[in-house]
């Protein structure tokens, strides 16, 4: 499951299990965008993920690093992000 879908589900759970439609309205995006995220066609932008974390009072650090990790194009990028995640966890 993608980070975007996990973040969406965590966001919805924070508000007692919103529908995808209600979550889209709360975030300020379209229901179509939510559907595209669910299908894996697109991912949340970092800006939208930060907004979601702010609205739901969710710590953004892990979510943002995981979004970057999904977008990483090389092993070098992936290794750096994993290193950052491990350092934050320590």
pLDDT in tens, 23-67: 999 999 999 999 999 999 999 999 999 999 999 999 998 899 999
- Mean pLDDT, all residues of the chain: 94
> What's the pLDDT band for 4 if we cut at 50, 70, 90?
very high
Tokens 């943002």 belong to 64
Please report the pLDDT score of residue 89 as a whole number.
84
Please report the pLDDT score of residue 62 as a whole number.
83
Question: Which of 69-73's residues contact partners 24+ apart within 8 Å by CB, and which partners?
Answer: 69/3, 70/2, 70/3, 70/43, 71/43
> What's the pLDDT band for 88 if we cut at 50, 70, 90?
confident
Tokens 């992936």 belong to 78
């Amino acid at each position: 499951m993608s980070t975007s879908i996990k973040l969406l589900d965590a966001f919805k759970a924070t508000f007692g299990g919103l529908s995808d439609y209600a979550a889209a309205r709360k975030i300020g995006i379209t229901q179509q965008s939510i559907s595209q995220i669910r299908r894996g066609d697109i991912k949340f932008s970092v800006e939208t993920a930060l907004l979601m974390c702010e609205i739901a009072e969710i710590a953004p650090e892990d979510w943002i690093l995981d979004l970057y990790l999904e977008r990483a194009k090389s092993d070098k990028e992936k290794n750096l992000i994993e290193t950052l995640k491990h350092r934050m966890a320590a």
